[in-house]
Amino acid sequence: MRKMRHILYSLLAASLMTACTQDEHTGCSLPEGRVPMVLNAGGLQVTATPDTRGIFDGDWSDVTQIAVTETSTDEGKKTYTVTPAADYSTAELAPEDEANTIWWNYNDEKKNIIAWHPVDKEMPQVGGSWTVTADQRDGIPVDEDLLYASGQVTLQNPYLTFRHLLSKVVINIRQSDYLQNYSLTDVEVTMDNICLDGKLELGIYEELILNNDGVTGTIVHPHRCDQAASGCFATYEALVMPQTVTMDNRNIIIQVDGVQYVWEISLQTIGNTSFDSGCQYTFNITVDAKGLDVQVSESSTWTNGNGGSGSVALP
C-alpha cells in the first residue's frame, strides 16, 4: 500500500508540473488546487563493505522516518516515510498521511525546508544539545544518529542533501598469528576519555554542526559488528561526539585475555586535531605479543576523515 501511494504521488506531481510553466504568469495555481510534497533525499554515502554494515552506516538502509518542517509557516513538524532506492544511496520521502503533508499550491512555488532524524526530537538548532550512549556493545540506538538537511526546494527539484552531525569511529582488529590462539570473547576493545555530550553550533561555512561542550570524556565500549571487515579478526564501531582528540590522553585500549595494550590518539599518530562532525575515522590495528601496530585510513562511507599512520609499542 505504501509503495502504491508513493507511485500515485509521483505520477500526480509529474502531471501537475506540466500544467503551468514559467512561460506563463508567476504564481499559477495548480489545476487540482494543491499537490502533496514528495522529497528526494541523498547525501548519505553507500557503505563500501555491506557485509560489515552497522546500524548507523552512511546510507538509507536503517532510516524509516524523517521529520520535515517548512520554515515560513506555523504548521510545525511533519512525519515523512522513507523509501530507500535499491542501492540505499538515495531515498524518497513521502507524507505519512494527510495530516503530515506539506502541500504545493503553485507550480513555481519555492519552499525552505528543514528535515532531520530522529523524528521524535525537536528541530535541531543552534544551542541545542545532544548525547550519545557510552556502552554501545549491544548496538547503537537508531535515535542517536542525528541526520540533518536544510535547503530550498521546488516542485520541479524537490531534493535535499542530508549530513551526519556526529562522528563515527571504526576499529578493525586485523588477523595475526598472535590472535589465532584466542576467540572473540577473549578480546575487549574500549576507547578512553571520549566525549559523548555536545552542543549544536554553526561551522565555518555557517552550516549546522555538533561539537563537544567541554564535558569530561568517559570510557566508550564500541559495538562489535556481526561480521568483520575483510582480513580482520573483528570490527568494532562507535558513534561519538565531534571533539578535539589531541589532548587529555584519549586512547584506544585492547585487552587480550587480561593483557592490556594502549594506543594514544594524538596529532602525531592520526595527522589531525579532532573528530569532526559528519566524518568517519578508521583505525586498522594489528595486535601481537610485542604491542600494537596502527594504521589510520580515510573513510569510504561518511565524509572523508583523516589520513596517516602510526605505531606504538607496549608501555
Both 183 and 303 in a single domain?
yes
Q: What is the mean pLDDT of the chain?
A: 80
Both 178 and 258 in a single domain?
yes
CA distance 301 to 87: 14
Both 193 and 159 in a single domain?
no
pLDDT at residue 45, rounded to an integer: 61
pLDDT at residue 47, rounded to an integer: 42
CB atoms within 10 A of CB 164: 26
pLDDT band at residue 87 under the 50/70/90 scheme: confident
Radius of gyration of the chain (CA): 23
Contact call for residues 296 and 271 (beta carbons, < 8 A): yes
Cell 552506516 belongs to residue = 57
Grid cell digits, residue 115: 528535515
Grid cell digits, residue 27: 504564481
pLDDT exceeds cutoff 50 at 107? yes
pLDDT at residue 33, rounded to an integer: 65
Grid cell digits, residue 21: 510553466
The answer as to whether 38 is a domain residue is yes
CB atoms within 10 A of CB 45: 19
Pairwise pLDDT comparison (158 vs 269), residue with the higher score: 158
Name the percent of the chain lying above pLDDT 90: 49
The answer as to whether 113 is a domain residue is yes
Both 64 and 102 in a single domain?
yes
List, for residues 228-248, the tens digit of each pLDDT value.
Answer: 998 999 999 999 999 888 666
**Final residue of a structural domain among 164, 194, 221:** 164
Range scoring the smallest mean pLDDT among 23-32, 105-114, 144-153: 23-32
Grid cell digits, residue 241: 561526539
CA distance 268 to 165: 26
The answer as to whether 85 is a domain residue is yes
Both 173 and 153 in a single domain?
no
Range scoring the smallest mean pLDDT among 4-18, 49-63, 150-164: 4-18
Range scoring the smallest mean pLDDT among 89-98, 138-147, 165-174, 268-277: 268-277
Pairwise pLDDT comparison (289 vs 196), residue with the higher score: 196
pLDDT band at residue 68 under the 50/70/90 scheme: very high
Report the CATH number at residue 200. Answer: 2.60.40.2630
* Amino acid at the residue 107: N
The answer as to whether 134 is a domain residue is no
Mean pLDDT of 175-193: 93
Both 297 and 172 in a single domain?
yes
Report the CATH number at residue 49. Answer: 2.60.40
pLDDT at residue 125, rounded to an integer: 95
List, for residues 256-272, the tens digit of each pLDDT value.
Answer: 998 999 988 866 555 56
Both 158 and 172 in a single domain?
no
Both 210 and 274 in a single domain?
yes
Both 10 and 159 in a single domain?
yes
CB atoms within 10 A of CB 129: 11
Both 263 and 180 in a single domain?
yes
**N-terminal to C-terminal alpha carbon distance within the chain:** 61
pLDDT at residue 211, rounded to an integer: 92
CA distance 117 to 277: 15
pLDDT at residue 3, rounded to an integer: 52
pLDDT exceeds cutoff 80 at 304? no
pLDDT at residue 160, rounded to an integer: 96
Q: What is the DSSP string of 152-172?
A: EEESS--EEE-EE-SEEEEEE
Supply φ then ψ for residue 212, to 5 degrees.
Answer: -60, 140
CA distance 144 to 102: 26
Closest alpha carbon to 247 in 279, 270, 221: 270
Number of domains, the chain? 2
Both 160 and 309 in a single domain?
no
Beta carbons within 8 Å of 14's beta carbon, 6+ residues apart = none
The answer as to whether 137 is a domain residue is no
The answer as to whether 136 is a domain residue is no
Both 76 and 171 in a single domain?
no
Contact call for residues 191 and 252 (beta carbons, < 8 A): yes
Pairwise pLDDT comparison (260 vs 274), residue with the higher score: 260
pLDDT band at residue 142 under the 50/70/90 scheme: confident
Q: What predicted TM-score, i.e. pTM, was given to this entire model?
A: 0.80
The answer as to whether 90 is a domain residue is yes
List, for residues 8-57, the tens digit of each pLDDT value.
Answer: 455 455 444 444 444 443 556 666 668 999 999 988 764 433 333 443 45
Mean pLDDT of 98-114: 94
Could you tell me the strand order of the sheet in which 280-288 lies?
Answer: 223-224, 232-240, 167-174, 280-288, 291-297, 308-313
The answer as to whether 132 is a domain residue is no
Owning domain of residue 187: 167-313
CB atoms within 10 A of CB 293: 18
pLDDT band at residue 292 under the 50/70/90 scheme: confident
Pairwise pLDDT comparison (164 vs 264), residue with the higher score: 164
pLDDT at residue 74, rounded to an integer: 78
